[in-house]
Amino acid sequence: MASTKAEMRDMAGEELGVKRLHQPMQSQDAARITKSFDQVYAQLKKDGLAIWASTGSAPDEVVPHIVFLIAEGCLGVYGVSNERYNRIVMGANKARREIPKMVKPDYESQDNATDY
């Protein structure tokens, strides 16, 4: 099942350690992590990689990668352990490699080919 913006925000909060499992997140943390989501989505949209609406659900295969990118955007705000920091940075680096592979079409359509 695809994940919504709020679900990805909560997952990023768990990665950062600011949200406990099955517990609500504090409003200031939710607002900051939502801002990071918006920044990540805007960059993906600019790069042509956001294939879903920002208010819609992201495809399952990209969700874990989006979560790491969101969490990485908050590392300057939240103090995290070295292990957590390294895990988030490595996950975000992997996300930058994997997302383009997952969202590009399997083939180039000849229906709308550019006529030079």
Per-residue pLDDT tens for 2-34?
Answer: 788 899 999 999 999 998 888 888 999 999 999
**pLDDT confidence of residue 70:** 95
Residue 94 has pLDDT above 90, yes or no: yes
Chain centre to alpha carbon of residue 44: 9
Residue 1 has pLDDT above 60, yes or no: no
Q: What is the mean pLDDT of residues 104-114?
A: 63
**In sequence order, what DSSP letters do the residues of 60-103 get, joined into one string?**
GGGHHHHHHHHHHHTTTTS---HHHHHHHHHHHHHHHHHHHHHH
Q: Predicted confidence band at 109 (pLDDT cuts at 50, 70, 90)?
A: low
How far CA 60 is from CA of 3, 52, 66, in Å, comes to 7, 11, 10
Q: 62: which DSSP letter?
A: G
Backbone angles phi, psi at 3, to 5 degrees: -110, 145
**pLDDT confidence of residue 24:** 86
Backbone angles phi, psi at 13, to 5 degrees: -60, -40
Each domain of the chain, given as residue ranges in start order, spans 5-17+26-103
Cβ neighbours of residue 8 under 8 Å, at least 6 residues apart? 37, 58, 63, 66, 67, 70
- Of residues 112 and 94, which shows the higher confidence score? 94
Per-residue pLDDT tens for 41-76?
Answer: 999 999 888 888 888 888 888 899 999 999 999 998
